[in-house]
Amino acid sequence: MRRLLKRFFSNLNFSLGFVLSFVVVAMALVSLVWTPYNPNRMNPRDRLQGPSISHPLGTDQYGRDTLSRVMTGAVNSIIVGLVTVAIGLTVGVLLGLAAAYYGRFVDEAIMRFSDLLFAFPAVLTAILITSVLGPSMINAMLAIGVFYIPIFARLTRAVAQGVWQQEFVTAARASGIGEWAITRRHILPNILSPLLIQGTIQFAVAILAEAGLSYLGLGTQPPNASWGRMLNEAQTFMNLSPWMAIFPGVAIAWAVLGFNLLGDGLRDTLDPRMVKVR
């Protein structure tokens, strides 16, 4: 275990990604119990302030503390990342496993369904879904999650097909282990690391997507804090108080970069073959 950790942390991408995402997660966790100010409490007297001792990241047009809002925004982003990846993983892995196992018609049907989903421009369709179902964080997560299904389905299918060809699967069959047990105990553990890598990367993409939807007003609804939403509100006051836009923007870039690097680092360490290719 210690050796494994050492291997991970000797990778620059992983270490950097780990530190960046750790800050985001820590911020989110702390905000659950403590924030400098109530993130939704307006305080007109302190509006549109720049960074100061009492408000390290300044305040917005209603005098709400930007640091507190960035912190609660982190919770929002993490929840979106977790839920969307969970949707994509559960449905996608099941579909991918089924496609790899049954092949032929089932495979064809599932993969064409994936193609169909892929053919839609993701953001436009997410906008469509949220505008039909009504703008809310839950609907935004649903919209993003749906587009993750084909990504995980394809990945699972591709990797699982390879694993089914392996001799140890034949050996497992020859010892009388049933097909479902083989899938669960032999196939799944073998495809875990590519799924983990993809999951981390999709987590980053989801944060970005949610920020985008919230920026358009289709995601998290006021007064709740979301980084995208904060950017949107800051837009009007760009000339008066650019700080309002800078900090949520930095937060988004920080988190996306962090989780992306984490994913890359995981790939480098878990899948040495990929490194050689690059």
Decide if residue 167 touches other proteins (CB under 8 A). Answer: yes
Nearer to other proteins, 45 or 276 (CB): 276
Decide if residue 270 touches other proteins (CB under 8 A). Answer: no
Decide if residue 185 touches other proteins (CB under 8 A). Answer: yes
Q: How far is the CB of 259 from other proteins (least distance, A)?
A: 25
Q: Give the position of tokens 């962090």.
A: 258
Question: Among residues 45, 174, 180, 276, which is the contact residue for other proteins, using CB under 8 A?
Answer: 174
Of 69, 125, 115, 86, the closest CA to residue 203 belongs to 86
- Our CA angle for 21, 206, 88, nearest 5°, is 115
Decide if residue 1 touches other proteins (CB under 8 A). Answer: no
Structure tokens belonging to residue 239: 């000339």
Decide if residue 172 touches other proteins (CB under 8 A). Answer: yes
Decide if residue 177 touches other proteins (CB under 8 A). Answer: yes
Q: How far is the CB of 192 from other proteins (least distance, A)?
A: 8
| SS3 sequence of 82-126 | HHHHHHHHHHHHHHHHHHHHHCHHHHHHHHHHHHHHHHCCHHHHH
Burial of 276 (0-12, 13-18, 19+ CB in 10 A): exposed
Q: Cα–Cα distance between 25 and 251 in angstroms, integer?
A: 12
Decide if residue 4 touches other proteins (CB under 8 A). Answer: no
Decide if residue 184 touches other proteins (CB under 8 A). Answer: no
Q: How far is the CB of 187 from other proteins (least distance, A)?
A: 10
Identity at 177, one-letter amino acid code = I
Q: Cα–Cα distance between 99 and 108 in angstroms, integer?
A: 8
Nearer to other proteins, 153 or 172 (CB): 172
Identity at 95, one-letter amino acid code = L
- What residues from 188 to 217 belong to the interface with other proteins (CB under 8 A)? 189-190, 192
Please state the length of the chain. 278
Nearer to other proteins, 91 or 270 (CB): 270
Q: Which one of 110-118, 162-170, 220-228, 235-243 is the stretch in contact with other proteins (CB under 8 A)?
A: 162-170
* Segment holding 258, helix H or strand E: helix 243-270
Q: How far is the CB of 151 from other proteins (least distance, A)?
A: 23
Nearer to other proteins, 193 or 224 (CB): 193
Decide if residue 161 touches other proteins (CB under 8 A). Answer: no
* Contact footprint for other proteins (CB under 8 A): 166-168, 170-178, 181, 185-186, 189-190, 192
